[in-house]
A = this chain, B = another copy of it.
């Protein structure tokens, strides 16, 4: 079809100079004269030259590719993080490769392997729910590829991490419900082996203790935090001889499930039972009543992770391997599902 490729060699030929002169001109090397630089630039434009990134990446040992591994792209939290990452690294000439693990351990492993094979310069990841063995991440570390965990992190590997203060978020969420006059607050939690959910449970418990409310095992549940989990657990909660007057769910989806069930049962939200979720997924503001939740500052989280990556790239002298542990402060978002009239 078209003259598919213009290489620096061709530009060189056209100008009767050497490829290396062209390369240096394009890279603005100080020893190249302005005249040559201009001539090269003009010819490059004229010949519609597009640098071959692979060649330079190979030579420089740097692909300018950043891998991001997330459980799901269609969860708004994660796509926002990705947006934050992109905003920061695109400006520095990096491209982002996103791969989804769908919370499958196997897929996560193959994704990591694919990214390493593609010679990404770094990996930003959120660990899948299924994952307990971290060998594939060890691998990344061994290869000397910067690795940064966000949200679902593991401290044991000694890599950079960035999370929100889940404990505090949960504490505030529970405290807010207490402020609204709730006395029996149920918790729809995630699996305790995931640190982040564990921290939320602790925050919830501490809030109860602080305000001298009894802790009742029958009100505390663990689950996969999907919509159906919210429904099922809420059903069980309603069946109790003494049902709760509030539900704090560790995800917006499970909170939504709870809300749907309550609405179907004709239970008034928030007066009979108040609800608060976690993550500030967009839909929480669309539903009726709008759902209170906790904002995780997803985009900021991505930006921060990206900046840490860039710092790692800048200081490849690996002498100062100080682990970077960033904790962002969550923000309570109070909406109709928990705002009781005074």
Contact = CB atoms under 8 A, between A and B. Distances in A.
Interface of A: 1-2, 4, 48, 50-55, 57-58, 63-65, 73-74, 76, 79-80, 82-83, 86, 90, 95-100, 114-119, 139, 142-144, 227, 256, 260, 263, 282-283, 286-288, 318
A80 B57 CA distance: 31
Nearest to A5: B143
A96 B90 CA distance: 16
A287 B74 CA distance: 18
B288 A263 contact: yes
Contacts of A115: 95
A55 B53 contact: no
Nearest to A111: B90
A101 to B, nearest CB: 11
A73 B83 contact: yes
A263 B288 CA distance: 9
Contacts of A96: 97-99
A58 B144 CA distance: 23
Given A73-B79, A74-B76, A74-B80, A52 B119 contact: yes
Contacts of A139: 48
Contact of A144 (B2, B52, B79, B119): B2
Nearest to A264: B288
Contacts of A64: 118
A169 to B, nearest CB: 21
A309 B52 CA distance: 22
9 closest A-B pairs by beta carbon, nearest first, are: A283-B283, A2-B142, A74-B79, A54-B58, A73-B79, A4-B144, A1-B144, A53-B117, A54-B57
28 contacts: A1-B142, A1-B144, A2-B142, A4-B144, A48-B142, A50-B116, A50-B117, A51-B117, A52-B119, A54-B63, A65-B97, A65-B118, A73-B73, A73-B82, A73-B83, A74-B79, A74-B80, A74-B83, A83-B100, A95-B114, A96-B98, A96-B99, A98-B98, A256-B286, A283-B283, A283-B286, A286-B287, A288-B288
